[in-house]
Amino acid sequence: MKRRKSPIFDPEIFLAQAGVGRTLLQLEKKQTLFSQGDLADEIFYIQKGKVKLSVISNVGKEATLAILGTGDFVGEECVATAQPLRQITATALAACTVLRIARSTMVAVLHQEHAFSDTFVAFLLARNARIQADLTDQLFNSSEKRLARILLLLAQFGKNGGTETVIPKISQEALAEMVGTTRSRVSFFMNRFRKMGFIEYKGELRIHNSLLNVVLHD
C-alpha cells in the first residue's frame, strides 16, 4: 500500500488565510495593532494597507520610525529575539487587512517548513538592508533626497512594477520626523515636487516614478 504524500507547503497560502494559530483582522484607519509596552506574543503579516511604526520617549515625544506595507511582517522581533514586551507602537495608516499569527505557531512553522523559513529569512535580510540604507541616507544625503526616498518607499516603488501609486494621507509632521528635518522644510520640498510634476496631492497623495530623479541626481 502506497503512503499518501503530504501536501506541499505553500508560504503564500499560509500567509493568505486564517487557520490554526492564525486570525485575519480588519483594521480601520488610525487603529492600533499593538502598543509600546504590550506583551510581544504575536506576529502580524500585512495583506493589504500600510502600518506606521512609532516610539514614544519617556517625556512623551513621539517619533515615526518606519512605514510598512503589503507583504511586510510587523512585530517580528518577538520571534527573532526573546524580547517579552513591545518596544514600538504599530498603527494603521489606512484601512488594513492583516494576518495575526501566534508566536508559538510561527516558531513551529519556521522549524518545520524550509520554504517558509526561506521566506521569513529573506524578509529579515531585506529589513536589515533597509535599516542600513536608512542610516546611510541620514548620514550622507540632503533632506530633500531623504524626503524623496521616503515617499518612494511609501509608494513601494519597484515592488509591484507600477509607475505611480496613491499612498495613504500622512501628515507633514510625520514625514519631518522620518526625514529628520522641520515641517516647514518638508512643506517647501513637497511644493517643489508638486510643481515639477513628481507628485500630486488633491485629497490624496500620488507618487510618480519621476520622483526617482531627485534621489539619483548628484
Number of structural domains (the chain) is 2
Structural domain contains residue 57 = yes
Q: Domain check: are 97 and 149 in the same one?
A: no
* pLDDT tens-place string over residues 64-89: 888 898 999 999 988 876 678 999 99
d(CA 140, CA 61): 26
* pLDDT tens-place string over residues 21-39: 999 999 999 999 999 999 9
Write down which residue in 117, 134, 151 finishes a domain. Answer: 134
Tell me the pTM.
0.80
Torsion 178-179-184-188 (CA) sign: negative
Write down which residue in 99, 134, 169 finishes a domain. Answer: 134
Q: Domain check: are 104 and 188 in the same one?
A: no
Q: Domain check: are 193 and 115 in the same one?
A: no
Q: Domain check: are 115 and 165 in the same one?
A: no
Here the CATH number for the domain that contains residue 86 is 2.60.120.10
d(CA 96, CA 199): 24
Structural domain contains residue 38 = yes
The predicted structure's pLDDT at residue 161: 54
Cβ proximity of 80 and 40 under 8 Å: no
Task: Give bridge partners of residue 53 from the DSSP assignment.
Answer: 66, 90
The predicted structure's pLDDT at residue 158: 60
Q: Domain check: are 43 and 130 in the same one?
A: yes
Record the cell numbers describing residue 26, joined without a space.
480588519
Structural domain contains residue 6 = no
Write down which residue in 134, 162, 195 finishes a domain. Answer: 134
The predicted structure's pLDDT at residue 145: 92
Q: Which domain holds residue 120?
A: 11-134
Question: Phi and psi for 183 in degrees, rounded to 5?
Answer: -65, -35
d(CA 121, CA 104): 17
Regions of the chain with pLDDT less than 70? 1-6, 81-82, 158-164, 217-218
Cβ proximity of 145 and 137 under 8 Å: yes
The predicted structure's pLDDT at residue 79: 87
d(CA 195, CA 197): 5
